[in-house]
Amino acid sequence: TTTVYYDEDADVSTLDDETVAVLGYGSQGHAHALNLHESGVDVVVGLREDSSSRAEAEDAGLRVEAPDVAAAEADRVVMLVPDTVQPYVYEAIEDGLDAGDTLQFAHGFNIHYGQIEPPEDVDVTMVAPKSPGHLVRRTYERGEGTPGLIAVYQDATGNAKEESLAYAKGIGCTRAGVIETSFQEEVETDLFGEQAVLCGGVTEMVKVGFETLVDAGYAPEMAYFECLNELKLIVDLMYEGGHMGMWNSVSDTAEYGGLTRGEEVIDREGMEKILEEVQNGEFAREWINENQANRPAYKQYRDAEQHHQIEEVGGRLRELFAWGEDADAQKEEAPAD
């Protein structure tokens, strides 16, 4: 059975004699920095000189320094710049990691795939809200929190787990519940989930469903409603009540048709191959090389996606129908990572 940690299992004052450097002030960075600050933790934000977020952080009452200055001063350095940028930022702050300091992440990619190799005398940990930063901030302000993960990769001080829980409490996660995992498990399940199910699987299923109807001569507008728009209603039912909650809410015809035909569209071996390439590092190597080459394939895929008929139809329909504005408001809350 999994242990879930709540507020009473953590003590923010564990971080009382620490300065925490939050590197980056984007989705996660702004939420961590502000929540910690309001929880009474000494925070310094690390941003490059020309950063577009510098003014925003300073206006919020936070101290801002260059990443290397912030890291040198801090006892805990939290990497909240984009994963593809982290290895470069790490080079700049590496010298600021003293024995007994902590290097902390919100996603394990760079540690698990060896893109960052910290010295042995620092703690290496993860505190990862299972939610986009805007919700981490908004729920905290309401006195609530978002669920989170903690993981310890390297425990040089012997305090790594206790301090991770204290940090999780400082950003509000223990209000909702925190579970412990490993860097390996977090990375592999995260990459598999976003590729096979959440981002890759779902968009491909919607796209091919849309194309199948349009190619057979049905109106693109009908195909859009059926294959994309209604997906949200179904996902909401699953989110609230699991599969049975959903099956109980749709018609018996939809339930029978779905139960007998769903399997037909899923390629189980394809999913296993995706997991294998995550586990053996093939995906990570491909993505690292892609970035070093300035993302040629990424740009091509993105361009094709942008010019797909479903985007044009959807753009038009979202303008015409009442849910458009609501959908925009929800976009920033959509779980991305």
Residue set of the binding site: 25-28, 48, 51, 53, 133, 190, 194, 226, 230, 251
Q: Does 44 bind ligand NDP (CB under 6 A)?
A: no
Q: Does 84 bind ligand NDP (CB under 6 A)?
A: no
**β-pair partners for 128:** 149
Q: Does 123 bind Mg ion (CB under 5 A)?
A: no
**β-pair partners for 65:** 46
Q: Does 288 bind ligand NDP (CB under 6 A)?
A: no
Alpha carbon distances (Å) from 335 to 101, 146, 321:
31, 12, 24
- The single residue listed with the structure tokens 């760079």 is 110
Binding-site sequence positions for substrate = 251
Site track for ligand NDP across 131-170, x = CB under 6 A? -xx-------------------------------------
107 as an active site residue: the answer is yes
- CA-wise closest residue to 103 among 162, 160, 64: 160
Q: Which does 51 bind (CB under 5 to 8 A by kind): ligand NDP, Mg ion, none?
A: ligand NDP
276 Cβ contact partners less than 8 Å away, ≥ 6 residues apart: 282
**β-pair partners for 19:** 42
* From candidates 61, 82, 245, 324, binder to ligand NDP by CB under 6 A: 82
What is the rounded CA–CA span in Å between residue 256 and residue 239?
21
Indicate which residue of 30, 107, 112, 308 is catalytic: 107
Q: Which does 220 bind (CB under 5 to 8 A by kind): ligand NDP, Mg ion, none?
A: none
Q: Does 29 bind ligand NDP (CB under 6 A)?
A: yes
Q: Does 33 bind ligand NDP (CB under 6 A)?
A: no
Q: 3-class DSSP state for residue 191?
A: helix
Interacting span for ligand NDP (CB under 6 A) from 24-32, 152-160, 229-237, 252-260: 24-32
What is the rounded CA–CA span in Å between residue 211 and residue 205?
10
Q: Does 111 bind ligand NDP (CB under 6 A)?
A: no
Decide: residue 321, CB within 10 A, 0-12 exposed, 13-18 middle, 19+ buried: exposed
* From candidates 44, 64, 80, 191, binder to ligand NDP by CB under 6 A: 80
Q: Which does 96 bind (CB under 5 to 8 A by kind): Mg ion, ligand NDP, none?
A: Mg ion
Q: Which is nearer to ligand NDP, 222 or 336 (CB)?
A: 336
**DSSP H or E segment with residue 14:** none
Q: Which is nearer to ligand NDP, 53 or 309 (CB)?
A: 53
User: Which DSSP state fits 103?
Assistant: E
What is the rounded CA–CA span in Å between residue 73 and residue 233?
49
Least Å distance, CB 96 to Mg ion, is: 4
- CA-wise closest residue to 112 among 165, 181, 171, 179: 181
- Give the binding site for ligand NDP (CB under 6 A): 24-29, 47-48, 51-53, 80-83, 85, 89, 106-107, 128-129, 132-133, 336-337
